[in-house]
């Protein structure tokens, strides 16, 4: 299947980006994309540019420079980038604007993850996080169980993490922790998603700000979500974040299910332990395919100059 369509995958802007990282992500993407059943081959791209602490204007200028070279390599029937770590609707907007400036074409199908007002698809922002949680719910269903009432942790607090948290809460799970690369917020009452969205999506601030208004919560600097006891863990930050040691803590604390929102977040030692202990496991290739699947639907809408309902 993957041989049939244009290359499709995310763009990542993060200081840890290297050729090796992009290669593994592209490799994963090929299998993931074929699992969607849609006509998309795999690809990945990015830069080791660090967007942290940059102004809007600096982000814009970086995106424009990046596209000044990238535009020769992409196109609706060759290669169609989307977002990944450090690349959200804002960056896609700057990239799209520069593509149009250089080529003179309003070619919607050249990027996905666009804003709704100029060719984006409803549900794309939510798709990866929601998909991961639907996947977990289906795994539990097979085992005669459900997410309702389960104590959960979600790593990261970016696009995938936020919408995983939203869907988990809709399913009646209690999400007690999420994180960024500096530390973890533990809220025993369950995370306040509206506040989290205000901090991360609107103000673009660091996670410790959560405590400013929610003093009952704990900010654990340098700590991971896997230090918090839970039944279900959703790694939604980055590769190799869930180590063998984290896995031991998770199992010892009664952990039963891990479902990967991120690409390859579970380290090999952790995977081995999960197999030994019969931990229910949703591999990212399948569990986070919702994002790219909706990206392909965005391409279909763009090709037909139409918009679909949520």
Q: How far is the CB of 261 from ligand 2IT (least distance, A)?
A: 10
Which residues in the 96-135 window bind ligand 2IT by CB under 6 A? 112
Active site residue 209: no
Smallest distance from the beta carbon of 213 to ligand 2IT, in angstroms?
31
Task: Please state, in angstroms and rounded to a whole number, the distance separating the CA atoms of residues 232 and 164.
Answer: 12
Query: If binding is defined by CB under 6 A, does position 82 make contact with ligand 2IT?
Result: yes
Q: How far is the CB of 26 from ligand 2IT (least distance, A)?
A: 10
Which member of 5, 6, 9, 119 binds ligand 2IT (CB under 6 A)?
9
CB closer to ligand 2IT out of 83 and 255: 83
At residue 120, the 3 state secondary structure works out as coil
Indicate if the alpha-carbon torsion angle 290, 259, 178, 205 is positive or negative. Answer: negative
Q: What residues have CB less than 8 Å from 12, skipping those under 6 apart?
A: 21, 22, 25, 44, 45, 46, 47, 84, 85, 86, 87
Instruction: Exactly one of 32, 44, 114, 224 is catalytic; name it.
Output: 44
- Residue 163 to residue 159: CA distance in whole angstroms: 7
Task: Compose the 230-259 pattern: x for residues touching ligand 2IT by CB under 6 A, - for all others.
Answer: ------------------------------
Q: Is the dihedral of CA 49, 53, 56, 61 positive or negative?
A: negative
Provide the mask over 22-61, with x wherever binding to ligand 2IT is found by CB under 6 A and - wherever it is not: -------x--x-----------------------------
How many CB atoms sit inside 10 A of residue 278's CB? Answer: 9
Q: Please, which residues have CB within 8 angstroms of residue 245's CB and are 6 or more apart in sequence?
A: none
What does the binding site for ligand NDP look like in residue numbers (CB under 6 A)? 10, 14, 16, 83-86, 128, 156-161, 180-182, 236-238, 241, 261-263, 288, 291
User: What are the residues whose beta carbons fall under 8 Å from the beta carbon of 280, sequence distance 6 or more?
Assistant: 139, 140, 143, 256, 257, 258
Both tokens of 285, joined, read 């290739």
What residue ranges bind ligand 2IT (CB under 6 A)? 8-10, 29, 32, 82, 84, 112, 263, 291-292, 295
Q: Which residues are catalytic?
A: 44
């Amino acid at each position: 299947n993957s041989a049939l369509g244009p290359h499709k995958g995310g763009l990542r802007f993060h200081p840890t980006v290297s050729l090796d990282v992009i290669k593994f992500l592209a490799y994963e993407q090929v299998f993931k994309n074929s699992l969607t059943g849609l006509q998309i081959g795999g690809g990945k791209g990015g830069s080791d540019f660090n967007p942290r602490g940059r102004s809007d204007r600096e982000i814009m200028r970086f995106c424009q420079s990046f596209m000044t070279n990238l535009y020769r390599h992409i196109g609706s029937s060759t290669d169609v980038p989307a977002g990944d770590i450090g690349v959200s609707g804002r960056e896609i907007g700057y990239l799209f604007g520069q593509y149009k400036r250089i080529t003179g074409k309003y070619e919607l199908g050249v990027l996905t993850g666009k804003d709704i007002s100029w060719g984006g698809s409803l549900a794309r922002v939510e798709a990866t996080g929601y998909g991961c949680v639907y996947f977990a719910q289906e795994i539990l269903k097979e085992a005669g169980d459900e997410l309702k009432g389960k104590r959960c942790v979600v790593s990261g607090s970016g696009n995938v993490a936020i919408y995983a948290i939203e869907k988990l809460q809709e399913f009646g799970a209690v999400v007690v922790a999420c994180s960024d690369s500096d530390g973890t917020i533990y809220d025993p009452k369950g995370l306040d998603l509206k506040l989290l969205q205000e901090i991360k999506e609107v103000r673009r601030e660091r996670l410790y700000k959560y405590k400013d208004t929610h003093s009952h919560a704990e900010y654990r600097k340098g700590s991971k979500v896997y230090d918090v006891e839970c039944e279900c863990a959703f790694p939604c930050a980055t590769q190799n974040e869930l180590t063998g040691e984290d896995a031991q803590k998770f199992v010892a604390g009664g952990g039963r299910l891990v479902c990967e929102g991120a690409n390859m977040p579970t380290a090999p030692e952790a995977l081995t332990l999960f197999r030994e202990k019969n931990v229910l496991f949703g591999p990212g290739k399948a569990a986070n395919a919702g994002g790219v699947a909706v990206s392909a639907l965005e391409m279909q809408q763009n090709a037909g100059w139409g918009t679909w309902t949520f």
